[in-house]
Homo-oligomer: A and B are copies of this chain.
């Protein structure tokens, strides 16, 4: 490495940036599609037999879940986007970890549908199961993002030289996500509605400050 000429270094840097840009673009595509697919959870409402306004107003959990999941994915996108302003190259391990984060992101419409259908379900256990799976998905997103970021930032592995060390130190929010979603998970077994309230509060908090 020490014997690479400046021209070789510049070429490698440029190739690294192109590679990084493509990973970012692919990830952005997945975020944009996952966030837009959430509406599919709403469509079955349109074909029910009853009075439209009664059906829609009785289905308020569906809309609440739609909005919370929308902002949850939006926040992950914002953070992912922020992360890529620090990263100047990617490697195979980073691509796999990023792939795991994208896997959890594409999964989000499913727990959203579960909550929409079952948070008011009178069957014992169904609301709890739906809320627990929803909170676990949020936890997966938060933990997945932490994992990707720790991998990139460890010893400045993939970080551009121009980024000051202070930017890489974990802030308070770094732990709030995993802790908050863990609390939401526990609440699913006590009072499932509280799980949804916590997940909504986390999305609002991170949208404003993350």
Q: Specify how many copies of this chain sit in the oligomer.
A: 4
Query: A26 near B109 (CB under 8 angstroms)?
Result: no
Which of chain A's residues 48-86 have a Cβ closer than 8 Å to chain B?
51-53, 56, 66-67, 70-71, 74, 77-78, 81, 85
With A30-B35, A39-B109: A52-B114 Cβ-Cβ less than 8 Å: yes
Say if the beta carbon of A198 comes within 8 Å of chain B: no
Given contacts A46-B113, A47-B44, A96-B207, contact A39 B106 (CB under 8 A): yes
CA distance in complex: A94, B121 (Å): 38
- B interface footprint on A136-152 (CB within 8 Å = 1, 0 otherwise): 00000000000000000
A contact set with B: CB distance below 8 Å: 15, 19, 22, 24-26, 28-47, 51-53, 56, 66-67, 70-71, 74, 77-78, 81, 85, 92, 95-96, 99, 102-103, 106-110, 113-114, 116-118, 121, 123, 125-126, 128-130, 133, 207-208
